[in-house]
Structure formats: structure tokens, C-alpha cells
Amino acid sequence: MKKQTLCSLLTFGSLVVTGCVGTPTMPFEDVLTTAPLFRTLEKQVVEQELDEAGTSSLSKSAQQELNRFAKSQKVDKRIQLEIEKGNSFFDKGDFDTAIACFGHAIRLDPNNVEAYYLRGITHGELGDTANETADFGTVIRLDNNHAEAFNRLGVAYANQGSVEIAITNFSEAIRINPDFVEAYNNRAVAFANHGAIEKTLTDLSEAIRINPDNANAYFNRAIIYNNIQEFDKAVTDFTETIRANPDHARAYMSRADIFASQGKNKKAIADYTIAIELKPKWAEVYYNRGLAFKAHGQQDEAVKDFSKAIELNPKETETKPVSFRATTASPE
């Protein structure tokens, strides 16, 4: 991850899932004891018939209703089982099987919002943006107040470079849920990629107002302040990032970079050292600490860090730009 790249970590709720095995049938007697029985029949009439004669003597219409209900309960249980199995395979990283499970649930109930939503998330993990956007689009068609789906659809469009469409979807998520911190953070990232810095800062500040412990919003705002050379504000926000998330290695490194640029090499070295403790294979931070050691007159330590940076290979993934990435499914 490069220092100057704005980072978006969407927190959309975890998929809590469990396994795609054969679906057990539900004995009819169990249906009678695990759910309210009657949706359309007069409850008192059916209860009277049950009290007087038991299920074998129900009127034909009551028996038909019971049979329909029992069948629907079996289908509902199969749908839930497929969703739970899909979630379990998702957690294991078996995304193809997870998609198959969610697909089974959708075949049983073509209007099941949860199954489409979870399958959309899984398509996103595989980088299948076409099916990802299709599934989230279906979720919104079935439930046009699904804030998380609008948020994720925005992420999908942002990853395709369709920033204006992404902003529209993030705005819809915020309209539905005005306290949706992740949607503000994501719209801010989209605004930043569009060059709208004031709107970016406004959204990040709103995310922080809603949740003063949101490390991602502080970090992104710090990056913006750094880029527009408001370094004191950047340091303040990197410090707040660390307060909210003491393991935020990039915040330590970014704050150290500012300290180093200001000639505060002792502070820079301290922050670089913590970043290394958190990410011991981060070549870039070794190199930057080496520069700080050199500027501080500690040549031997500088040589050691430069050597370590070469050993680790500075082209590693830690220095790659950050892209939009969805992580969880519910607003904080």
C-alpha cells in the first residue's frame, strides 16, 4: 500500500455461515410444535377442531392448510440451511461452493433477498463484477430500502471505475440510513478519486461525528490533509487513527513520514519501529527508517535497514495501491 493512496475499508457485516449438505426433512408433528400454525384459517375454529378430534378429524380445508403450511416450513428450513451452508463455505474461502449454496436457496425462493445479497458479496470476492452488480441490483429491486446493497453496489461500480454511479449508490445508502458510517467513508473515497476534496473532507468528518472511534475515516482524512499539505491536521488524524486502532501500521508509518519530512527523525524512527513490529516483512518501512537513521547520523543502523529492505524486496504487496474492498455487511 502506498503512502499517498486513500484507503476504503468497508465494514458490511460478517457473513456468518455454516455448510451444503443434504437437507433433512421436517416431520409433520414437529411443524405443529415449532411454529404458529394457521395463516388464513380462523385460529379459534381450528383450535376447536384440534381439541375435539385431533388432526385426523380436521375439516378438509383445515387439513389442506396444515399440509400447505407444513410444506412451506420444510422449504423455509431448506432455504435457511442452504444459506447457512453458503456462509460456512464463504468463511472457509470456498467461494464457488458458497455461490452454489446461495443459488440453491434462490431456486427454492426466487425472491429471497438475503440469498441474493450474500451471493453478490461472494461474487465480489471472486472479482466477478458482472454477477456481483446483478445480484445487488436484484436485492434493490426486491427491497429498495436495502442500504447495505446500495453501499456494496457503489463499491462494485467504483472498482470498475464508474465513480459517478458509485457516488449515486452511496448517496442512496446514506438517504436510507443517515448514520451509515461506511457509506460516508466510501462516498468520500469516491469524491477523492473524482477530485472533490471539500466533499471528501465533509463526508469523512460526518463519518467521524457519527462514530468518533472509526479508524478508517480518521486515516482517510489524514491522507487528504497530508496531500493538501496541512501536516499538523494530518498528524492529529493519524494519532486519532492509532488511538482507535493501535495496530494500524500504516498510520504509524504515515505519521513517521511526516515527522521525517519535518526533521523530527527521533519521532520518525520511533513510529517506523512500531510499524515494523506490527508488520515485520514490510520492506518500505525498513527503507524509510533507514533514511531516518541516516539523517540522524546513525549510519550503521541505516545500512542494516537498507539491507533488510533489499532482502524483503520492495515490490512486495505492502507497497501496492489500496483499492475499494468490501469487508462486512452491516452499518456500525
pLDDT digits (tens, 9 = 90+) for 180-230: 999 999 999 999 998 999 999 999 999 999 999 999 999 999 999 999 999
- pLDDT for residue 244: 98
Q: What is the DSSP string of 198-254?
A: HHHHHHHHHHHHH-TT-HHHHHHHHHHHHHTT-HHHHHHHHHHHHHH-TT-HHHHHH
pLDDT, one tens digit per residue, over 61-97 is 555 554 554 455 566 888 899 999 999 999 999 999 9
pLDDT, one tens digit per residue, over 254-278 is 999 999 999 999 999 999 999 999 9
- pLDDT for residue 325: 34
pLDDT at 154 over 50: yes
- pLDDT for residue 31: 28
What contacts 168, CB < 8 A, 6 or more positions away? Answer: 154
Residue 169 CA, chain-centre distance (Å), reads 16
Residue-range domain boundaries for the chain? 221-332
Q: Are 84 and 24 in contact (CB under 8 A)?
A: no
- pLDDT for residue 91: 94
pLDDT at 125 over 90: yes
Q: What is the DSSP string of 76-135?
A: HHHHHHHHHHHHHHHHTT-HHHHHHHHHHHHHH-TT-HHHHHHHHHHHHHTT-HHHHHHH
- pLDDT for residue 216: 95
Q: Are 328 and 148 in contact (CB under 8 A)?
A: no
Residue 32, C-alpha cell as written in the block: 405443529
pLDDT interval class at 313 (50, 70, 90): confident
What number of CA atoms fall less than 13 Å from residue 208's CA on the CB side? 19
Instruction: Tell me if the pTM is above 0.85.
Output: no
Least confident among 231-235, 283-287, 321-325: 321-325
Name the nearest CA neighbour of 181 among 9, 5, 325, 1: 9
Class of the CATH-defined domain 221-332: mainly alpha
Stretch 37-61: mean pLDDT: 44
